[in-house]
């Protein structure tokens, strides 16, 4: 813990307001994985997003050219 | 299958003995976060020898300033790193942020005692521990950071060991 910053456990009403929106089921899945597995899982998801974006842009270009 | 962006940077840093600490979104992922992120953030030691090691490690990836207009002269060398502090870079494999200092957290020497060793598939790196990561994100204070803090605090309550 950094001595010059507040204790992370100090209650914060702004942060608490965000808590309700967090889907912890996804996190709990991650907590069963090793660090390396967590990184690989996240990278796979990011690559999927890139692939979807690529397909979407290709489709948009096809529509524009039609 | 290509290894992850973080893994590739970690491999390079380990190979070149670079002193750098993982923070930010990928540090949160290491601790179990389900939030996605793009660029990889490292706080690096500004020791001159380490700057030379960083230059060598990333040189093959042709680093360039991410927000600079194309064609702006940018020389990737120790002198450039000495003249600046925080660099948001694009490389041939993806984006990386090299931070000499972060809000509230200081620099590499301020953070090194608040880190843990993280074993990735093909290399080891140092990552801020969960307490420190929460403190840094609170200090950054953007809405997305506070949303991340809400998740990280719940991870802390559950235990995050990987």
Give this complex's ipTM: 0.88
Task: Report the pLDDT value the prediction gives residue B129, as an integer from 0 to 100.
Answer: 96
Return all residues near B36 (Cβ < 8 A) that are at least 6 apart: A42, A45, A46, A49, B25
pLDDT category of residue B160 using cuts at 50, 70 and 90: low
pLDDT value of position B2: 62
Q: Which residues of A touch B (CB under 8 A)?
A: 1-2, 4-6, 8-9, 12, 14-16, 18-19, 21-24, 26-31, 33-40, 42-43, 45-46, 49
Give, to the nearest 10 degrees, the angle between helix B143-158 and helix A24-31: 50
Give pLDDT, residue B72: 87
B4 touches chain A (CB under 8 A): yes
Global pTM?
A: 0.90
Q: Look at residue A23 in the predicted model and tell me its pLDDT.
A: 87
Strands (E), chain A: none
Chain B closest CA to A60's CA: distance in Å?
Answer: 23
Q: What is the largest CA-CA distance in chain A?
A: 62
Query: For B30, which residue in chain A has the nearest alpha carbon?
Result: A35
Q: What average pLDDT does the structure give for chain B?
A: 93
**Average pLDDT of B36-63?**
95
Note whether A16 contacts B150, CB cutoff 8 Å.
Answer: yes
Bridge partners of B118? B125
Best of B32, B95, B156 to disrupt the A interface (most A CBs within 10 Å) is: B32
* Burial category of B75 from C-beta neighbours within 10 Å (exposed 0-12, middle 13-18, buried 19 and up): exposed
Contact B5, A43 (CB under 8 A): yes
Residue A43 has pLDDT above 80, yes or no: yes
The side-by-side arrangement of strands in the sheet containing B124-128 is B64-65, B87-90, B95-99, B40-44, B20-23, B124-128, B115-119
């Amino acid at each position: 813990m950094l001595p010059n910053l507040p204790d992370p456990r100090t209650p914060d009403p702004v942060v608490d307001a965000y808590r309700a929106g967090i889907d912890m089921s996804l996190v709990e899945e991650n907590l069963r994985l090793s660090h390396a597995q967590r990184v690989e899982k996240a990278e796979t998801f990011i690559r999927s997003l890139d692939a979807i974006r690529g397909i979407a842009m290709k489709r948009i270009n096809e529509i524009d050219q039609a | 299958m290509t290894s992850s962006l973080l893994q590739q940077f970690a491999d390079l840093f380990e190979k070149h003995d670079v002193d750098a600490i993982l923070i930010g979104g990928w540090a949160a992922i290491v601790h179990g976060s389900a939030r996605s992120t793009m660029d990889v953030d490292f706080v690096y030691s500004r020791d001159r020898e380490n700057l030379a090691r960083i230059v060598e490690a990333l040189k093959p990836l042709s680093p360039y300033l991410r927000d600079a207009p194309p064609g702006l002269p940018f020389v990737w060398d120790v002198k450039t790193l000495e003249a600046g502090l925080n660099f948001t870079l694009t490389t041939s494999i993806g984006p990386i942020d090299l931070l000499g200092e972060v809000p509230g957290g200081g620099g590499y020497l301020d953070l090194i005692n608040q880190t843990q060793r993280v074993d990735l598939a093909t290399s080891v790196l140092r990552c801020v521990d969960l307490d420190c990561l929460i403190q840094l994100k609170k200090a950054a204070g953007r809405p997305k950071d506070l949303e991340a803090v809400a998740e990280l605090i719940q991870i802390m309550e559950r235990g995050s060991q990987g």
